[in-house]
Amino acid sequence: MSVRIKTPNLDDIFEKWKQRASRTDRKKMEKEFGTKGAVFSLDAISAAEYVKDTMKEAAIYFAVKKSLGPAPKGKEENTVTAPRVGREQFYSFKGTGKINKEEWKGNEIVPQFESIQAIPCKTCKGKGYLENKCKTCKGTGKIEETLTVLVGEEQNKVKKPFTYPCGACYGTGTRTEPCKECGGHKNLYKYEELPVPFQTVVTGVPILHSSAQTKYEKEIGDDLHKMIEDVEGIRFSDFKELDSKAEASLGYWNKNIKKTIGSAGNDYKAYEKDKDAQITTQIYLFPMIQMFAETKRGKRFEIYSLGSGTKFMVYSNF
Ligand SMILES: [Zn+2]
Ligand SMILES: [Zn+2]
């Protein structure tokens, strides 16, 4: 035997929406439904006048706990010159404990300070400079010149060699130049980009599947999740049972409802298999009413109800 759930009365849904909308934004209600020169009254706003169309749909809800685990594994190594180390933003988690992923601002994989490591430069073998043959003296360490000397009374021109130490290499024949690879800093520096050590947090996530063609499914699901105790639906412990009793429980049926039950069932199965997820509630089937309404000023909006005639919630994009 299936229990038939009574859907809320359309006027009751509209009334609940109207009361809430006027509490949250009375000015907007006056603007959209008021009459110029007349005292504004909520009583004049009726479903009969402003609801253009109504659809009887269904929604399926369950909640899962999902663990937000550590960031995806990954490790990247960078090797840079000493001055570039200072241009990188490093992070340290030494002794800080695990990080709350919800509060974390920034990348999930970051350069870590403790991983900085000096690597001797291969090009200069860690000396910071290279020894090259002196260009001025071609590596001889000496500058050779030929002087023209005037000899004797006749002042005959005689060529004489004159050698002196090269001033560019101080007579050594070699010149040292800073190594271009390490910029003269002897070392290059290696560091790692590692995942931020997030703590494994478990959060409750509402899963809602509805047969209504709506872009507000996520918002409706979030609202429902908060007030699930105050909304009446029919509970099932598995989809097989739900599938066989849904039509009789709702008292109405359409192709979209059938399709929705199918896709919700597949989603449910996927969560059952997911190691990081845990289904924490039974499966709820809710009657869902979708109303297409239009204000006096011609602004279109939608009202949704989920639940039974005695315990239902209202959502609207008004
Ligand atoms: Zn070098
Ligand atoms: Zn020289």
| Tens digit of pLDDT at every position of the chain (318 positions) | 567 899 999 999 999 999 999 999 999 999 999 988 888 888 889 999 999 999 999 999 999 987 766 556 778 999 999 999 999 999 999 988 888 887 889 898 999 999 999 999 999 999 999 999 999 999 999 999 999 999 999 999 999 999 999 999 999 999 999 999 999 999 999 999 998 888 876 778 899 999 998 999 999 999 999 999 999 999 999 999 999 999 999 999 999 999 999 999 999 999 999 877 889 999 999 999 999 999 999 999 999 999 999 999 999 999
Listed in sequence order, the residues at least 6 apart from 76 whose beta carbon sits closer than 8 Å to its beta carbon are: 109, 192, 193
Q: Which ligand approaches the C-alpha of residue 132 most closely? A: 2
Q: What is the DSSP string of 51-98?
A: EEEEEEEEEEEEEEEEEE-SPPP--EEEEEEHHHHTTS--B--TTT--
- Rounded to an integer, what distance in angstroms lies between the CA atom of residue 274 and that of residue 290? 33
Burial of residue 13 (number of CB atoms within 10 Å: 0-12, 13-18, 19+): buried
Q: How far is the CA of 177 from the centre of ligand 2 (A)?
A: 13
Listed in sequence order, the residues at least 6 apart from 209 whose beta carbon sits closer than 8 Å to its beta carbon are: 59, 60, 61, 217, 260, 263, 264, 267
Q: How far is the CA of 283 from the centre of ligand 1 (A)?
A: 67
In this structure, are strands 277-279 and 283-294 parallel, antiparallel, or unpaired?
A: unpaired
What are the residues whose beta carbon lies below 5 Å from ligand 1 (ion)?
121, 123-124, 179, 181-182
Q: How far is the CA of 124 from the centre of ligand 2 (A)?
A: 21
Q: Which ligand approaches the C-alpha of residue 167 most closely? A: 2
Q: How far is the CA of 282 from the centre of ligand 2 (A)?
A: 89
- Rounded to an integer, what distance in angstroms lies between the CA atom of residue 65 and that of residue 204? 4
Q: How far is the CA of 174 from the centre of ligand 2 (A)?
A: 6
Q: How far is the CA of 82 from the centre of ligand 1 (A)?
A: 11
Q: Which ligand approaches the C-alpha of residue 176 most closely? A: 2
SS3 33: helix
State the Rg of the chain over Cα.
41
Q: How far is the CA of 81 from the centre of ligand 1 (A)?
A: 10
Model pLDDT for residues 84-120, shown as the tens digit of each residue: 999 999 999 998 888 888 788 989 899 999 999 999 9
Q: Which ligand approaches the C-alpha of residue 140 most closely? A: 2
Q: In the Cβ-directed half-sphere of 90, how many Cα atoms lie within 13 Å?
A: 16
Q: How far is the CA of 176 from the centre of ligand 1 (A)?
A: 12
Q: How far is the CA of 8 from the centre of ligand 1 (A)?
A: 80
Q: How far is the CA of 116 from the centre of ligand 1 (A)?
A: 18
- Rounded to an integer, what distance in angstroms lies between the CA atom of residue 223 and that of residue 217? 10
Give the distance between the most distant pair of CA atoms in the chain. Answer: 143
Q: How far is the CA of 114 from the centre of ligand 1 (A)?
A: 24
Q: How far apart are the first and last CA of the chain?
A: 39
